[in-house]
Structure 1
């Protein structure tokens, strides 16, 4: 008997938030460290900025992800409420609507009507939520899960360039943090692709490229500001 298929879409709810959080943590904290170091900041100023960025970023990511996903959940709940009312007030029209969906997917009209009738007899709201609205329990909005994954992954991501800044000699902070951040970003891109079942090369290069660009821009601005003040 063939083994059960693994569907990576089931990981989408937490994987997106975790990868985004870790990516933001690495890039923003590394850029902050590089910017302060390029501006001529002392070691204690660099580390203060790094830890402040880690804490503020994790809280910001959690709050932003919770608000965003909660809005999605509210929208889904409103759609379900409208669908529930339509099923109660216009059941025949809803049956025809579901039947047409199955006809459009390739069933004959007679079979589509039979399938729609049986599914609606069992759980009409679930049938319409799944096939008309595209909702299901596995990929539905989960604000707490998304916020937690985002905050934790941001903190872990931010800790990596922070650790590099702690260990590096002060006069090598920019180079050490930049190299460490690029390595972490490449690893993150590969890990995210692997967890999502996607090819590794393109996501790895994409994450590393944008991280390098962000740090280069921040370092350049930091150097200009350092000379100006």
Structure 2
């Protein structure tokens, strides 16, 4: 026997974590850079950054909870419908499951034997997995997603905010921009490592779009002279 460690089980919390941390770094750094480009006061920059951190974390938590709850509601509705169909027309559901296995390469006799055995053990589970594509690993978890997103957003947002706190105003825009790009590159590498993906590709992707966001925000702040 050999140990297996499939990374798909991390999908639920990893997606929320990367989204939260990335949004925290990009939005807060962009806010700081935009305000700094429009203002000469470091205190205004810090107030804007702190407000962005708090508001963003709460927004991420609420948004993730609502969106993932909608996914969960849809999953539960499909399961309820499938449960009712199993009770009212079991023969049709048996044929439906066997057809799925035949399409995957089993001969008709074996497909029906597999369908019978799986339905005898857990009919709803078999249909949820093979007909609806649902599993315990990928099931929606609203609370987990909300907490993960809020926590990682706050952590990500704290990085450019701390950088702004430590730098003099004269180099604040450049310093926060460079530091934030470094944080984004690090986040891309960590996320890729956790998900078993290509580290270089993920790092470049995250850093590129972060740079675009900060450049646009700084440009707007400089042109209009207002905080954005």
Bin the TM-score by the shorter chain.
Answer: over 0.9
Where does residue 132 of structure 2 map in the other structure? 133
Matched, 1:104 2:103: yes
Name the TM-score, length of structure 2 as normaliser: 0.98
**Cα distance in 2 for residues equivalent to 1:105 and 1:121:** 21
Q: How does 1:24-173 map to 2 (within 5 A)?
A: 24-173=23-172
Contact residue 40 and residue 169 of structure 2 kept, 8 A:
no
**Cα distance in 1 for residues equivalent to 2:139 and 2:40:** 46
* RMSD of aligned Cα (Å): 0.8
Shift of 1:30: 0.1
SS at match of 1:141: coil
Alpha-carbon displacement from aligned partner over 1:157-190 (angstroms, at most 9, x marks no partner)? 0000000000011111101100010000000001
Shift of 1:223: 0.4
SS at match of 1:138: coil
Unaligned runs of 5+ in 1: none
Name the TM-score, length of structure 1 as normaliser: 0.97
Matched, 1:211 2:210: yes
Alpha-carbon displacement from aligned partner over 1:108-138 (angstroms, at most 9, x marks no partner)? 1101100100110111000000000011111
SS at match of 1:139: coil
**Cα distance in 1 for residues equivalent to 2:224 and 2:21:** 28
SS at match of 1:111: helix
Alpha-carbon displacement from aligned partner over 1:81-102 (angstroms, at most 9, x marks no partner)? 0000000000000000000001
Count of residues in correspondence between the two structures: 226
Shift of 1:41: 3.9
SS at match of 2:225: helix
Shift of 1:6: 1.4
Unaligned runs of 5+ in 2: none
**Cα distance in 2 for residues equivalent to 1:41 and 1:32:** 14
Structure 1: which 4+ aligned runs deviate by more than 2 Å?
Answer: none
